Amino acid sequence: MSNYVVDERDQKFVLYEQLEMEKLTGYPKYADFSKDVFEMVVEEARKFTIDMLEPTVEEGEKEGCTLKDGNVSVPECFREPYRLFCEGGWMTMTHDPVDGGQGMPLVLGAATREYFNVNFGFLSYTGLTEGAAHLISKYGTEKQKRKYMDRMFSGEWGGSMVLTEPGAGTDVGALKTTAKKNPDGSYSITGTKMFITGGDQNLVDNIVHPVLARIEGAPAGTKVISIFLVPKILVNDDGSLGERNDWNVTNLEKKMGIKASATCVMNFGDNGKCYAELLGEEGKGMKVMFVLMNEARIAVGIQGLSAASRAYLYSVKYAKERLQGADLANFRNPDAPRVPIINHPDVRRMLLWMKSHTEAVRSLIYYTAWCADMTLVVEDPEEKEKWGGILEVLTPIVKAYGSDIGFKVADQGIMVHGGYGYTSDYPVEQILRDVKIAAIYEGTNGIQSLDLVGRKIGQKKGKNFMSLLGEMYSFIAENEGDEKMKDLVAKLKDGVNVLAEIGAFFAKCGKEGKFLVPVGNAYPFLNLMSTVLSSWMLVWQASIASKKLDVMAKEKGADPSDWVKWAEFIKDNTDAAYYSGKIAAAKYFVNNILPEADAIATAIKTEDLTIVEIAEESFAF
């Protein structure tokens, strides 16, 4: 099913026609690259995914992970893809050459990651290793870099992200894991962690865990937590592996999805000898971990995008092949020929909903990665600050909206497949099960909405939020004179105005001491903002497509007023059909989905706090 992983045409459109990412090569940081190199890298990612990752999705699901004598085994079919993934340098493609990386743009990394997420059970091991190694690159000592980071970036050793504890969950400040400082400067860790993705696995010789813990004697709370490097196998001074460290996996979680990804319960220091090294400064653990968490949140958004893309592509394929019922014009005729279900209006409604949301999320995530690249290439401090601020605002949206849409598109995909969608005969049911976790881990989507409302839109007195609004208003000003786009742009402008209005309304509530209003409406606001941003992305794309379609139509002598010839023009030209679809997606979304933003705004402005006021006893007994 090699054509049903990523929409290659849409990916190229976003990268080269919308974002024009090849312009990044005009900056010194990326001057050694070219569009040809970028295209080659994405093509290699596609081939690797089709040849090595997609064929192991179902097999990995069936085999799952096992725990025996304290050691975890992952699907055997992952072994060869893991070797080739590491040899291909995919772990370090966007990292600094100083660390052995290739220094490629982050937006290119997002594009390749959309492919690799086809098999998230596999990617969970490589992705977390990459993130943990990057932490050491940023905060580790030179000794720690040589001791751990080099062999993690090469894939020889693994890594993870060890935060969550029983009874604490998202409330990281309630953790009970402690670190006792030893005379030699090392630490001894004691405690239990749970829901640890890749806490143990047998693809590598060693695993180095970044672990959050509180140093003995430190006060309660989140701000004074520290972070430590805890290897599975102790490393000798000469770099060779020594004895097993004092931690073990006591259980593997039984999950509804991503069964090829080992989710571990881990005990540290049962014998009081769990060796650990401080990473960074004492009491600065959350500052360090947030680097990994923010990267992970964008990665989770890409996980949602990949699920949406696959579910949509599989659904289109099924809808074009599945014969059922007569077309609308002949529905009363029992002898009418059966037609593919893509001819039925309700199926088209579902597919267009899936198409518009998937393409909007792809555009939004790639744009966010592009903003991150801009913070690395521009020299002007104010411009660097602007792109960094927009990145801050978009990160919780990418995580929450991306993962929500991944699940919702997969859900619609099951409906397109009908009864077959509920069976394992088709891949959409596994896609839905696998992607559900994306809304939960790395901070639930409710937490992301609180971060957006409580921190991000008010950062720097609202400057970052205003910068993002400014980008949208600039687009509107540049395109509202386009006769063919004016209606869509006008409706987009109304939506952006609603977003700005609610942002100001929340600020007013804060000044008046009504903090529960924005808090209670944080998740609805995230959806409002995501809907407006998606509309911007789609109208932006439609404006490009409209111009490209005009040029093609003039070359072919096609006139939109002549429906017969225009239909032939679209049918006979792949690019024309694609651009026409772009315009249709924007028109559908702006007319059918964007109004939801206005409805959310109306609800928010009522200042209704029933969710706070309802008595606990009034819920189900």
413-461 pLDDT, tens per residue? Answer: 999 999 999 999 999 999 999 999 999 998 999 999 999 999 999 999 9
Q: Which residue shows structure tokens 């990268």?
A: 15
Please report the pLDDT score of residue 41 as a whole number: 98
CA dist 44 → 12, 16, 92, 113, 529 (Å): 14, 17, 15, 12, 35
- pLDDT band at residue 3, thresholds of 50, 70 and 90? low
Q: Is the dihedral of CA 358, 364, 366, 368 positive or negative?
A: negative
Q: Which residue shows structure tokens 């139509």?
A: 553
CA dist 18 → 11, 111, 492 (Å): 10, 14, 18
Q: Quick one: fold of 159-286?
A: Butyryl-CoA Dehydrogenase, subunit A; domain 2 (2.40.110)
Whether 442 is a known active-site residue: answer: yes
Please report the pLDDT score of residue 595 as a whole number: 98
Residue type, 244: R
* Residue 611 token pair: 């969710």
Please report the pLDDT score of residue 13 as a whole number: 98
Q: Is residue 403 predicted with pLDDT exceeding 90?
A: yes
Query: Do the Cβ atoms of 60 and 260 come closer than 8 Å?
Result: yes
Please report the pLDDT score of residue 95 as a whole number: 96
**Average pLDDT rounded to a whole number, residues 546-565:** 92
**Average pLDDT rounded to a whole number, residues 15-33:** 97
Query: Do the Cβ atoms of 406 and 308 come closer than 8 Å?
Result: yes
pLDDT > 90 fraction of the chain, expressed in percent and rounded: 91
- Answer yes or no: CATH 3.40.50.300 is held by domain 8-153: no
**Average pLDDT rounded to a whole number, residues 361-389:** 97
Please report the pLDDT score of residue 332 as a whole number: 85
Question: Residue 557: which of 541, 545, 572 has the closest Cα?
Answer: 572
Angle (nearest 5°) at CA 195 between 299 and 48? 40
Q: What is the model's pTM?
A: 0.96
Domain ranges of the chain: 8-153, 159-286, 444-616
Dump pLDDT digits (tens) for 193-237.
999 999 999 999 999 999 999 999 998 888 889 999 999 999 999
Residues ≥6 apart with Cβ < 8 Å to 581: 355
Question: Residue 438: which of 412, 479, 469, 406 has the closest Cα?
Answer: 406
* Residue 226 token pair: 């520290």
Dump pLDDT digits (tens) for 583-592.
999 999 999 9
Query: Do the Cβ atoms of 116 and 53 come closer than 8 Å?
Result: yes
Distance CA 601, CA 501 (A): 9
Dump pLDDT digits (tens) for 39-57.
999 999 999 999 999 999 9
Dump pLDDT digits (tens) for 56-95.
999 999 999 999 998 999 999 999 999 999 999 999 999 9
* C-alpha 483, offset from chain centre: 36
Q: Which residue among the candidates 22, 130, 277, 442 is catalytic per the annotation? A: 442
Dump pLDDT digits (tens) for 136-173.
999 999 999 999 999 999 999 999 999 999 987 777 77
Distance CA 486, CA 497 (A): 16
Residues ≥6 apart with Cβ < 8 Å to 262: 65, 72, 74, 197, 198, 199, 200, 201, 252
Distance CA 60, CA 68 (A): 18
- pLDDT band at residue 259, thresholds of 50, 70 and 90? very high
Q: Is residue 1 predicted with pLDDT exceeding 60?
A: no
Q: Could you write out the DSSP letters of every residue in 167-227? A: TTTT-GGG---EEEE-TTS-EEEEEEEEEEETSS-SSSS-EEEEEEEEETTPPSSSTT-EE
